[in-house]
Homo-oligomer: A and B are copies of this chain.
């Protein structure tokens, strides 16, 4: 069991390419858009502790929404503090308000102090520890970016208060958080400050899970809140999926700190459970809106897929920690799958609006059903358009902070550099500056180079979709050594390594146990999952079928926003007037289909959408 570390985004400069474009859009548009909507909706006022003036009522987790936005801004400041000037002023104002509002005993929560002081540490479902965790992460990020310690001081005082209420004096009405997050934040703070108290607190909250016999809030749902089993006996991913992934990340931090192999084995089981049966092809997880939960293996409905955007982020955080234990390409594969699909789909191409829920099918005719029933009886179908803000708006600032720290996923420093993700950037690794230049998702080509590399090897992750590649070192063909999904090359001090992965449109099938995808295929192109949209292919996309062989006739071309669309032949069931008729009489007509990247759906108005197309 290793304890590798990735090169922090702080030492990575993104460069011109697919991902830098997203990074800049996040910085210039999304972070600003979230700030505006948070100002409108009273989220900042909540932390100004002046909600009474505004007449708006804070939500129980407004603090965490703002915290994630602060964290995003702090990350962006690391590379361009000047551009964040106005945001920095707002953050300083908020920190001043928080410091002033913090209670004598250290307690700090905008909702409970202003609305429900009688419920402080009384209701497990009230997200106080979750809010604290996100504020701790924000405080660390802000301290690192600016050297301003005020927020960190506030949070350390609050943690003293929490330690007293939960551990020393046990005056709190519950033992562990209803919504996990604080655990991983405490490990981060431990690493930032070196103060062992925070590690101990994290261990307390982790090792006391699964021991609650009776719980007033979640009495019928111990599994739902990850309290059915202690962390050493975790085998399956269960319950609220974002909470679960934050918990697993905290457990991974614990195992990374203490080297506990039993914990690592438990996490391996959970990882396998998720990736072998509970994950959409997009990398989305948590398939039901009912308590936003994981369900049973292979239960992956497409039109009611939940796949919350926060899960995409939390899954990357967990995978990045799992990668630290072992150089195994499956973790990088997962991160790539999530980045290009479940994460990107969350944000509109103009950067202004977001999905909370990321369905894999939209059948507008299904929404018509709803007009037949009274409002209170309506089904909870996913939204068909992205929104600027939600009443529960956890996802947008989470997307902000993930894209702001995207550099984290690119390179690991091991006995030599290991390139995990192909994102154009200069990485300031332990072994010298490494430049990655790519048109990975377009042509499959990547160039990795260094002018002054101090190790004698470099390792690259082979993409999961790769079916053959060629490589050149300083212009000459070279063959590397493959192991565990990686390829290692011997390199001189000054090298340019060009690698060309065989990218092509390919149809993918599902495990036959996935009922929703039975007899269906999904088109992929390298890391990108494709979909059909009604705007290109007409409504009622389930009338369409396609043969996997049709990729032979695929035509790729740049389309809206410069994205690559794929056209290929398919069939469409012919119109008929009868409701039921002899199957022998069923007819199809040939059609030219146009697929677009899944992440780009719902950017041209409300439309039908389908990832899993009937196999012909």
Contacts and interface: CB of A to CB of B under 8 A. Distances in A.
Interface of A: 218, 220-221, 223-224, 238-239, 275-277, 279, 281, 288, 290-291, 293-296, 298-299, 363, 365-366, 368-369, 371-379, 506-515, 518-519, 521-522, 540, 542-543, 545, 548, 573-586, 614-615
Contacts of A545: 519
Contacts of A580: 281, 508-511, 522
A374 B376 CA distance: 20
Task: Identify whether the interface residues of A are mostly helix, strand, loop, or mixed.
Answer: mixed
A193 to B, nearest CB: 38
A518 B296 contact: no
A582 B290 contact: no
A155 B75 CA distance: 79
A520 to B, nearest CB: 9
A279 B543 CA distance: 19
B518 A276 contact: no
Nearest to A288: B369
Nearest to A545: B519
Contact of A365 (B298, B375, B581): B298
Contact of A299 (B224, B369, B582, B583): B369
A299 B542 CA distance: 13
A515 B377 contact: no
A288 B522 CA distance: 29
The number of times this chain is found in the oligomer is 2
A382 to B, nearest CB: 15
A373 B291 contact: yes
Q: Which 7 A-B pairs have the closest CB atoms?
A: A512-B573, A518-B542, A221-B374, A507-B583, A295-B369, A296-B368, A548-B583
Contacts of A371: 223, 296
A220 B506 CA distance: 48
Which of A376, A583, A615 has the most chain B CB atoms inside 10 A of its CB? Answer: A583
A590 to B, nearest CB: 15
B277 A614 contact: no
Nearest to A576: B511
Contacts of A576: 511-512
Given A299-B368, A365-B298, A224 B374 contact: yes
Contact of A583 (B508, B574, B581): B508
Contacts of A574: 512
A218 to B, nearest CB: 7
B224 A373 contact: yes
Contacts of A518: 542-543, 573, 614
A517 B306 CA distance: 23
Nearest to A378: B290
8 contacts: A221-B374, A288-B373, A291-B377, A507-B584, A509-B580, A518-B614, A519-B519, A522-B580
A582 B506 contact: yes
A586 B202 CA distance: 46
Nearest to A279: B579
Contacts of A368: 295-296, 299
Contacts of A614: 518-519
Contact of A579 (B511, B515, B540): B511
A577 B264 CA distance: 23
B365 A296 contact: yes
A573 B290 CA distance: 30
A506 B581 CA distance: 10
A543 B298 CA distance: 13
Which of A276, A277, A515 has the most chain B CB atoms inside 10 A of its CB? Answer: A515
A271 to B, nearest CB: 13
A238 to B, nearest CB: 6
A91 B580 CA distance: 44
A276 to B, nearest CB: 6
A479 B276 CA distance: 64
Nearest to A514: B579
Given A365-B298, A579-B279, A583-B508, A372 B288 contact: yes
A372 B239 contact: yes
Nearest to A516: B542
A580 B583 CA distance: 31
B372 A293 contact: yes
A325 to B, nearest CB: 22
Contacts of A366: 299, 515
A582 B584 CA distance: 30
A366 B515 CA distance: 9
A462 to B, nearest CB: 16
B512 A238 contact: no
Given A291-B373, A363-B515, A509 B221 contact: no
A375 B511 contact: no
Contacts of A511: 576-581
Nearest to A221: B374
Contacts of A294: 372
A293 B369 CA distance: 9
A521 B579 contact: no
Nearest to A303: B515
Given A220-B376, A294-B372, A512-B576, 13 more contacts: A218-B374, A220-B375, A223-B372, A276-B579, A281-B580, A290-B373, A290-B378, A291-B372, A296-B368, A507-B582, A509-B582, A518-B614, A548-B583
A508 B296 CA distance: 33
A511 to B, nearest CB: 5
Contacts of A296: 365, 368-369, 371-372
